[in-house]
Amino acid sequence: MIDKLKHFFTHLAADTSIAQDETSLQLACTVLLAEVMRADGKSDENERITIVKQLSQYFKLSITELTEMLNHAEKLSEQATDYYQFTSKINATYSIKDKIKIVEMLWVVANADGEISAIEQHTIHKIADLLHLRHNEYICSKLKILS
């Protein structure tokens, strides 16, 4: 009986840990998108909608879950002192291809209002550097979205 209980709690803890890691990774991506949205100081509903659309294509979550995650990410973004705490989680898990997709999503958000400000471009460049992307990967992701 005790062995069964130990087995149950071991699997429960493992499942919870996997779910927390996945949530943490999704939240890290969402915070980076929120950082780009906030970069120019003009966050609007169109950018929020764009973030939710981008995330819905990448993560298998409901619109309600994505909206809640974005609300939480915005609060974390306001309190964050750097991007490393978020990019390090992504670097530990995602492939180069996945990281390029994230940078493409950043460009889509930056362009949601029809113009990309210098500060948005700087923010994306900084995030791409922290994701260990080469300069040509950064440029190609921009050209893919803007052309």
Query: Where does 1-95 have alpha helices with state H?
Result: 2-39, 45-58, 63-79, 84-93
Higher-scoring residue by pLDDT: 9, 84:
84
* Region of 132 on the Ramachandran plot (φ > 0 left; ψ -120 to 50 alpha; else beta): left
Instruction: Render pLDDT for 98-130 as a digit per residue (tens, 0 to 9).
Output: 999 999 999 999 999 888 999 999 999 999 999
Q: How confident is the model at residue 3 (pLDDT cuts 50, 70, 90)?
A: low
Q: Name the CATH topology of 2-146.
A: TerB-like (1.10.3680)
Tokens of 81: 């002192």
List the chain domain ranges.
2-146
